[in-house]
Structure 1
């Protein structure tokens, strides 16, 4: 089958790789000059399979006035007189019940487990290139509420054990009561991940990448995919997989498809590592900041903003820098060069991404992964690949259909 994958971030590259190794003729189209140039470019770099709670929860609902009024530095939800936002917001509120939170968490956990297994299979083709740079992850409990909640988790560890796992936490300036330790989680630069899978898919499976092309239209005929039109050319396709995050919405609208995806701003800093930099990835749950060792570089990412004003972006990046420096001054080289980045995370109200075939035959969606897009990438790709199946199986089914007709 000739398949066009739209988007070359962690989701798109993973999807192209998974489909390529099933024998399909895969093309990837992206407006950027290379892989991982959008929301994937400088994400938190944590592959976090163990701590996957959705944002929509009873706790979030209780704190909603604080978030709406901008009184919490970690999470800000600003009102906007926009129908798309209001529909998303109402759905978000409906997902804040205990029952829906539990169901959404279960779905995210299943996807995370699939992702962990899928990435292990990807690594068989590139064990050295996809080698983790940070091992294990600690989620810190800094107040009694988080501490009491974490004590119920199988991965709970005491304060003393936190320091044994990551000795550099002795320099932490905030409160640590304990935490959750996930040995199977780790850090890996998303750019390294994407470039490795791109090269492998090109060399081993013949996947073709088209960069610098803007998708203008998804073409269909009789409710069946016909191809892709870009600002430069036409791409024939039997199937299309949309992995464009927030940018998918204007392309899907003419087809009568309107997934409830909304943009949430995320931020990151990339600094130089130093001898005192932690080897274990750490999540500061209170401030919604993650710390990840990428080898020579160190990634600090955090905050969740919905409808943040553009003129506040630099202030938010500066607050992230000052919060991290105050909390953990020895984590990285704060006096050296610092690369600042911000990106739009495609959020579903439930926190569960849209993965599957859409209303048009041959059109598949792989969008809405939010802040855990990197963690969910390999598993989402495998779900799409399993739905579409092997190239030979698809061809036999297609031929059988024609013969039967």
Structure 2
């Protein structure tokens, strides 16, 4: 991903010496940061993990859709989406909007997105993300063999619902492409899908599904909390919460992470896994990354009379359903460019109503106490940026809507960079 990283080497400042520095300081304790700390510590490096929140995975990782969509790697930008951009920009879709003030960064991101939306570019991005997703699945299974932590993890399988024959035909072409590169997916008729997941019997107008039988679900917040315990106990990882990383000072033999209150954590290499906050943080280091926030919402409710056992994505309504410990997590809404973390009541209400239309008996929609919103860091290509733009700095950002899915594989690639195995 060197093509999307620009480095100003003059921005490196001379800081203090290494002293008793750890080998790696990981900035950001969402699922990507926690997984990265594990990948580094497992290889014998001493690690410090830093986050501005009081605990791990309290930002975009906290209550996302919970799907581990290893076989679903389809890039956002595509020729079909380009056709819809004018109506989306005008707010025609209540669950997908383009927001944000007009600025140079937005224009740059938009131009890159247009370039990434051709058929050839979409296929390349989809396959690149698939490769990373399959790596992530193997890494997750390896972790659970060593440390059988509990986070409502289940290999439930996943179905993408299609209500438009043309959209299903296009999806079938992508399935054929991905199957040639290791994805386990198939296209089913509506009847075949209902035989596997009876909850779909009430899904009006369903013409077919893309079925990924090996995809999984799990609670990313519980995962991060459990893995933090393992990191502290078994690997001696130091954690620094309530520390808002604002800057970094690079010296010949060390890098010092500086917090907003003057806190300082010294290491030999800094890994930036700050989600959408990485853009401004890295800019202060002279490193430019094309990230744009995609705001999403979710709610969690008691399971309904006909809750699906298989994880579900309704492609027409752009929302997902999955079961977690007897409850149903529903996630959706996409506001590209929004930086407002507040849960807007009208947007949450639209999500609830759309979910009720999609699967009316999946959840107890009358018992929803509140909702959640988070900002997902999107690259124009939908492919994460995992790179080493300068000595002592590794970047692991831009996972978009697949941060939970890609976290473990991204962590392995970041560790490979530290070991000098190249860049992604």
Is TM (by shorter chain) over 0.5?
yes
Structure 2 counterpart of 1:123: 144
Native 8 Å contact 1:134 1:279 kept in 2: no
Structure 2 counterpart of 1:403: none
Q: Does the alignment pair 1:229 with 2:258? A: yes
Shift of 1:49: 1.0
Q: Does the alignment pair 1:253 with 2:274? A: no
Query: Could you tell me which of 195, 204, 221 is aligned with 2:225?
Result: 195
Change (3 A) 1:68 1:312: farther
**3-state DSSP of counterpart to 1:2:** strand
Structure 2 counterpart of 1:317: 348
2-side partners of 1:78 and 1:235: how far apart? 36
1-side partners of 2:343 and 2:28: how far apart? 28
Native 8 Å contact 2:255 2:270 kept in 1: no
Native 8 Å contact 2:163 2:208 kept in 1: yes
Structure 2 counterpart of 1:333: 364
Q: TM-score, normalising length from structure 1?
A: 0.91
Q: Equivalent residues in 2 for 1:211-222 (5 A)?
A: 211-221=241-251
Shift of 1:193: 1.2
How many residues are paired up? 388
1-side partners of 2:74 and 2:143: how far apart? 25
Q: Does the alignment pair 1:62 with 2:83? A: yes
Q: Does the alignment pair 1:23 with 2:52? A: no
**3-state DSSP of counterpart to 1:249:** helix
Give unpaired runs (5+ residues) of structure 2: 1-21, 176-184
Change (3 A) 1:128 1:242: closer
Structure 2 counterpart of 1:400: none
Give unpaired runs (5+ residues) of structure 1: 394-405
1-side partners of 2:206 and 2:257: how far apart? 52
1-side partners of 2:115 and 2:418: how far apart? 32
Query: Could you tell me which of 28, 52, 63 is aligned with 1:42?
Result: 63
Native 8 Å contact 2:314 2:358 kept in 1: no
Structure 1 counterpart of 2:15: none
Q: Equivalent residues in 2 for 1:131-280 (5 A)?
A: 132-133=153-154, 135-152=156-173, 153=175, 154-172=185-203, 174-221=204-251, 225-230=254-259, 231-280=261-310
1-side partners of 2:143 and 2:46: how far apart? 19
**3-state DSSP of counterpart to 1:366:** strand
2-side partners of 1:151 and 1:3: how far apart? 43
Native 8 Å contact 1:287 1:303 kept in 2: no
Q: Equivalent residues in 2 for 1:339-358 (5 A)?
A: 339-358=370-389
Q: Which deviations, in whole Å up to 9, do the C-alpha atoms of 1:28-51 show, x marking residues without a partner?
A: 000101111001111000000112
1-side partners of 2:285 and 2:170: how far apart? 45
1-side partners of 2:304 and 2:361: how far apart? 8
Q: Which moved more, 1:284-293 or 1:224-233?
A: 224-233
Structure 2 counterpart of 1:402: none
Change (3 A) 1:150 1:89: closer
Q: Which deviations, in whole Å up to 9, do the C-alpha atoms of 1:240-271 show, x marking residues without a partner?
A: 10000111122212221010111111111111
Q: Which moved more, 1:308-317 or 1:231-240?
A: 308-317
Q: TM-score, normalising length from structure 2?
A: 0.87
**3-state DSSP of counterpart to 2:357:** helix
1-side partners of 2:215 and 2:297: how far apart? 21
Native 8 Å contact 1:76 1:305 kept in 2: yes
Root-mean-square deviation (CA, aligned residues, Å) is 1.9
1-side partners of 2:152 and 2:323: how far apart? 13
**3-state DSSP of counterpart to 1:339:** coil
Native 8 Å contact 1:115 1:380 kept in 2: yes
Native 8 Å contact 1:73 1:287 kept in 2: no
Change (3 A) 1:71 1:216: same
